[in-house]
Amino acid sequence: MAFRGPYTLLLASLWITVSRPTLGVYQLKPRIIVSRENGAFHTLSTSSGETIGDLKLIQDSHRREIYAGGHQSLFRLHSKSKPPTLTKVNLMIFESKCQNNATSSECKISMLKEGRNGNPLFMCGTVEKNTECCDVTPELLLVNCFSLSYPTQINEPAVHVGDSLYYSTSNSDLSGLYRWAEEKATWPLSGQAEQRHVKILANKGNGSLDGKVYNFYIEQNQNQNPDMPLWIPRVSQICMADLGGPKMVLQFRWTSMLTARLFCGDEKKLLSYTELLDIAVLEAAEWENTTIYALFKNTYDFRAVCVYKMSDIVRVFSGEFKDDEAKTFSSPRPGECVENSRVLSSNFLRFMERRPEMKQWIMPARDPLMFKHNHHYTHLQVDRLRGRKSGHPSYHVLFMSLDNGNVHKILEQEGEPFIIAEYQLYKTTTHISSMLLDRRTRRLFVSSSSEVVQIDLRNCSVYGKHCQSCVMARDPYCGWDLLTCSADNGSLVQDVTHGNYTICENAVPHFSESRTEVKRDHPSNVPQYSRFYLECPMESHHASYAWEHQGRKMKCVSADHNCLLLIDSMSEKDEGVYQCVASENGYDKAIARERLQMNGASETRVTPIALLCLLFLISVIC
């Protein structure tokens, strides 16, 4: 692309300002950018194009359907239709009261979650401070409805264990963990510090006194010292058998609740992340082998992901207490599950009323994944893929949304993040309200205020047409099938651990390899003394780029997704073949090739395209 005109001094100044060597491997930058134009995703919008508000994504209990719910509306995703659509589901719990008040904030869906007893969904509706909850059948009918004593919020976590509903709310007056069972409620102590709840996990255990519920949340720090963190991350543990205390102490309140503090950071560097944002869980057949991925941020707005083992959490809650008074109670031990909590002694219950805290903090199983390059992540999902060979460990892939509406696909291996790709899902900066990973179909769903985007995680064509590019992507979903980069079935050519492209040498037919992606057979005629830009597409942002001309290597400047070379003043010495070569991990590949030829005429006219590109460079600098 050529820029010809009288702006010689301005362009020269711009070139000096923006010109710099292209860096080599970027550990914390995405290797490739996948845009809407070349992306492996579909956008599902409402038929009316209405803005709905934050949409929460829910997968039904059968793992077949996906729903998107807002405060006022519920939609079902039809991802196989052309074009994909969101179809409104007319489910109104308070139909008579809400029919004429459908847009009022006093009439809303207040909870939406995966169903129970074979039903796909469970939902609650709230109108005028009255909350009604129902199971939703496969025919989308409301059954088994009941009134709930305390309103809930749609974005708060909740879980069913049998007929007991455990849920939380961050209302400043009523914040904490609740249970509704057999028309009876159990609730937390009042007057607590402000809390934000992130995840509830439940384990029924092997007996009636073995079941426990774990609630992950952050609590506002009551220490007003400006050097102390604003939020404290915690986990609470309660017994499912907890019936509350007698009439005089802790009636209808938890008598078994213990709390422990979560730590995420680097102790040696005195670095900590305290604001818990999101949690993703990898369940295991043995409960204590369950892995918990937690996304945090710190006071400097940097993000980190810490990984915890359920076995470590269980061990901490079996350890010492922060308060020495706990030692005076041995049978039962504070937090121990008992058959009838209403007959516990008054002294014991008054101690439990103080919400005893464990002495040891819950530490991550390994060093955190720390992100310091302005990656402002907001949501987290994690997938686990089997190792390619028997006995090899599984690969864990993280999907993390950014505050601008993009999503990163990240390989987590040996405590190091490798950002495989960045999906640019929206045309403008967009707030992502929810993410859901369908592990069965290997699709990721991302919702905003008006649409849902479906990403096919096994669309491997975005990694190029060569074995080397496919292997260096290190994507566990993909491999080289001797012709294309395809969804991996465990037998394709791939090296997820190192991205070693040399494995392609014995696996790729010679005819499939082409050193140059782009060829220009016809020369570009460039007027004498004019300026001219050569443009090279940056396929991998982990590669370094250079232009080769008559045995010389010249660095180029990156601009958006291209690498540009400036010819300052066209003359005879600038004629000939130019080739843009990308170098990554020792592998060189020619991306672009162009032949320049000078004609005698000079030209000072600036074309519209040239002016647009000039303005773009100015915007990059400023």
Task: Look up tokens 């509306």; give the residue.
Answer: 73
Same domain, 323 and 215: yes
Residue 611, classed as helix, strand or coil, is helix
Same domain, 185 and 295: yes
What would the pLDDT profile of 302-344 be if each residue is shown by its tens digit?
Answer: 999 999 999 999 999 999 999 999 999 999 999 999 999 999 9
The answer to whether 86 and 50 have CB atoms below 8 angstroms apart is no
Q: How far apart are CA 290 and CA 617, in angstroms?
A: 49
Residue 251 backbone class (left: φ over 0; alpha: ψ -120 to 50; beta: rest): beta
pLDDT, mean of residues 267-292: 94
313 domain-assigned: yes
What would the pLDDT profile of 74-85 be if each residue is shown by its tens digit?
Answer: 889 876 676 677
Given this model, what pLDDT does residue 122 score? 94
Give yes or no for a cis peptide into 83 (omega within 30° of 0). Answer: yes
Per-residue 3-state assignment (H helix, E strand, C coil) for 422-486: EECCCCCCCCCCEEEEECCCCEEEEECCCEEEEEECCCCHHHCCCHHHHHHCCCCCEEECCCCEE
Same domain, 490 and 554: no
pLDDT, mean of residues 418-441: 93
Task: Look up tokens 């600036």; give the residue.
Answer: 606
The answer to whether 170 and 207 have CB atoms below 8 angstroms apart is no
pLDDT at 279 over 70: yes
Residue type, 257: M
The answer to whether 598 and 526 have CB atoms below 8 angstroms apart is yes
Same domain, 591 and 473: no
pLDDT at 471 over 70: yes
Same domain, 198 and 223: yes
Q: What is the DSSP letter of 501?
A: G
265 domain-assigned: yes
Residue type, 154: I
Given this model, what pLDDT does residue 617 score? 47
> What are the angstrom distances between the C-alpha of 470 and each of 74, 138, 480, 496?
40, 42, 6, 10
Task: Name the residue range of residue 572's domain.
Answer: 8-27+515-621
pLDDT, mean of residues 605-616: 43
User: Residue 178 maps to which CATH number?
Assistant: 2.130.10.10
Task: Look up tokens 């991996």; give the residue.
Answer: 488
33 domain-assigned: no
Given this model, what pLDDT does residue 107 score? 77
Instruction: Find all residues with CB under 8 Å of 143, minimum gap 6, and list them.
Output: 119, 134, 135, 136, 137
Q: Which residues in 314-326 are b (16+ Cβ under 10 Å) and which e? A: eebbeeebeeeeb
Q: How far apart are CA 608 and CA 564, in angstroms?
A: 18
Nearest residue to 445 (alpha-carbon basis) of 432, 431, 455: 455
483 domain-assigned: yes
pLDDT at 233 over 60: yes
User: Residue 19 maps to which CATH number?
Assistant: 2.60.40.10
What would the pLDDT profile of 505-562 be if each residue is shown by its tens digit?
Answer: 877 665 444 444 555 556 789 999 999 889 999 989 999 999 999 999 998 888 778 8
Same domain, 584 and 489: no
Q: Edge to edge, what strands does the sheet with 121-127 contain?
A: 107-114, 121-127, 130-136, 142-148
What would the pLDDT profile of 198-229 be if each residue is shown by its tens digit?
Answer: 999 999 988 889 999 999 999 999 887 877 88
Burial class (CB in 10 A: 0-12, 13-18, 19+), 425: buried
Percent of the chain predicted with pLDDT > 90? 55
The answer to whether 529 and 569 have CB atoms below 8 angstroms apart is yes
Among 151-165, 484-498, 563-577, 580-594, where is mean pLDDT lowest? 151-165
Given this model, what pLDDT does residue 610 score? 43
504 phi and psi angles, rounded to 5 deg? -75, -20
- How many domains is the chain built from? 3
578 domain-assigned: yes
User: Residue 484 maps to which CATH number?
Assistant: 3.30.1680.10
Given this model, what pLDDT does residue 390 score? 60
Measured at the CA of 138, the angle between CA 133 and CA 140, to 5 degrees, comes to: 55
270 domain-assigned: yes
> What's the chain's Rg over C-alpha atoms?
29
Could you tell me the two tokens for 263? 């730590």
Same domain, 602 and 508: no
Given this model, what pLDDT does residue 620 score? 45
Same domain, 503 and 522: no
Nearest residue to 620 (alpha-carbon basis) of 562, 581, 555: 562
Given this model, what pLDDT does residue 172 score? 63
473 domain-assigned: yes
Same domain, 558 and 478: no
Same domain, 496 and 552: no
Same domain, 484 and 584: no
The answer to whether 40 and 462 have CB atoms below 8 angstroms apart is yes
Q: Name the average pLDDT for the chain.
A: 84
Given this model, what pLDDT does residue 496 score? 93
Same domain, 481 and 527: no
Give yes or no for a cis peptide into 332 (omega within 30° of 0). Answer: yes
pLDDT at 369 over 60: yes
255 domain-assigned: yes
